[in-house]
Amino acid sequence: MIPNTVSYSQLLRLTWPEIALTLAGILALALDLTVLGRASLAARLRAGVAVACAGCIAALFLLGSSAPFAGLPAGMFVVTPLTHVVQAALLALAIFTLLLSFSVRFTGHVGEYLALILFATVAMMFLVATQNLLLIFVALEFLSLSLYILTGFDKHSRQSAEASLKYFLFGGMSAGFLLFGMSLLYGLSRSIELPQIARALSLFLAQDPLLWVAIVMVAIGFGFKIAAAPFHLWAPDAYQGAPTVSAGFLASSSKVASFFIFAQVVTVALAPAAGSGAFRAYAPGWVPTLILIAALSMVVGNLAALAQTSLRRLLAYSAIGHAGYMLLGIIAHSPRGLSALLYYVITYALAVVGAFGVLGALEPEGIDRIADLAGLFRRAPGLALCLLIFLLSLAGIPPLSGFFAKFYIFSAALESEPNLGLLWLILLAVAMSAVSLYYYLRVLKAAYVAPAPEDLPRLRVSPATRLTLWVLAALVVLLGCAPSLLLNVIGLR
């Protein structure tokens, strides 16, 4: 039994990784403002990234050495092996993002930029390690605030400002929905701890119309965070306007954390009100709600992506489609479903960080339209190969990790209802993933098939970026060829 009071030393022990990360953020900020104030931009970046990466690595070590099971009262801080894995993945993604920001040239505020990435990571680490509605909300807002700023960080670009404002307005509204839903849940169950809510709901179950309102509100709030249709309108603009590194961060890490906590909230707290979306076996609950959102996301995201000419907008719409697939993992509401969701979202994050990394390396050339990629295979064969791997993984071509992710999540979802009740949804998902190949191939066609318009010189890519991209590509291939490596840590126990 966990005691009801918490000593500071206990708190300190539990949150060492987060503290290390925060300190690294403050250190990066302070160094940049004092010692490095007059150094060149490149030197400040080198020092800042080094400090920030050191912080992340220290946090990883602290994470590895901490107890696998621990907790604070009222579900405020819950550590399980699973949260450890997710936190480690978040830290790894942060490291990749930091390494890719070596070549950032759009801002002089290096310290602030790096610190914000670290603070956002801290927020996400808290987010995944709590089962308390209040802390979930606080961490989510902390995360969102950091992301709003990161999106608008390019002060010289009107697009960046517009993206940030749009993201902020939609985000603020959705936070309202989420808070309303949470307060209804609290009102219904007199608890803010996820397992307690489930217990309370299962007692008086469950025909209270307020519960359905709460479910819809929570779904809207999280639907915005994960950019699922019809709450996706901010995503294309944010992805297009934000600095590339921020966009990659937004599309990867925050997806991992948001999906994990979304799954926790609905599968743990709302477990008694699951319902069913099976063919001819409909029952109201959050499952049919999410099925609706998932189906819409898959259709809207993949079909809209067909019409895009901007690479970033294409990735944004494809991200909306992918959010639909990922929701299948939550819809399964089984241990296998959660494991499939984590596999999907982690491998997706790797591929998407890589794809944005490639775009970032192309940014100095002013490449954003698909047609601009023409001749890439000659100008930068390595980048072209990396892009091929990332996009084909997103399209779900074996032996890349995206394929197994799709297979696993479809299987888990189909298994969750007796008599293949969700077959219609899986057929829709499979059909949409066939559609998605078309637009990914369009990009690759430009990069591999089209000849360069005139004799452009070879592209120069910084060694850090190149190394990061190769590592990411290798991970995408490795996890696709040997999914067991990841399944062993996120799988069923």
Residues that bind another protein (CB under 8 A): 392, 397-399, 403-404, 406-408, 410-411, 414-415, 418, 420, 423, 426-427, 430-431, 433-434, 437-438, 441, 445, 448-450, 483-484, 487-488, 491-492
Q: How far is the CB of 259 from another protein (least distance, A)?
A: 20
Instruction: State which H helix or E strand residue 71 sits in.
Output: strand 70-71
Cβ atoms of 344 and 479 closer than 8 Å: no
Q: Which is nearer to another protein, 199 or 378 (CB)?
A: 378
Residue 184, token pair as written in the block? 């209804």
Q: Which is nearer to another protein, 259 or 410 (CB)?
A: 410
Q: How far is the CB of 370 from another protein (least distance, A)?
A: 13
Q: How far is the CB of 442 from another protein (least distance, A)?
A: 8
Residue 247's closest CA among 384, 396, 101, 364? 101
Q: Which is nearer to another protein, 103 or 339 (CB)?
A: 339
Residue 348, token pair as written in the block? 């997706």
Q: Which is nearer to another protein, 97 or 339 (CB)?
A: 339
Cβ count near 89 (within 10 Å): 25
Residue 105, token pair as written in the block? 């040239």
Q: Which is nearer to another protein, 232 or 322 (CB)?
A: 322
Q: Write the CA distances from 91 to 111, 259, 430, integer angstroms.
A: 19, 16, 32
Q: How far is the CB of 181 from another protein (least distance, A)?
A: 33
- Residue 306's Cβ-side half-sphere holds a number of Cα atoms within 13 Å equal to 12
Residue 288, token pair as written in the block? 């049919």
Q: Which amino acid is at 444?
A: L
Q: How far is the CB of 429 from another protein (least distance, A)?
A: 9
Q: Which is nearer to another protein, 111 or 301 (CB)?
A: 301
Q: How far is the CB of 342 from another protein (least distance, A)?
A: 13
Contacts of 426 (CB under 8 A, 6+ apart): 328, 410, 413, 414
Helix ranges restricted to H, 242-310: 244-264, 286-306
Q: Which is nearer to another protein, 121 or 433 (CB)?
A: 433
Residue 255's closest CA among 265, 263, 243? 263
Q: How far is the CB of 314 from another protein (least distance, A)?
A: 16
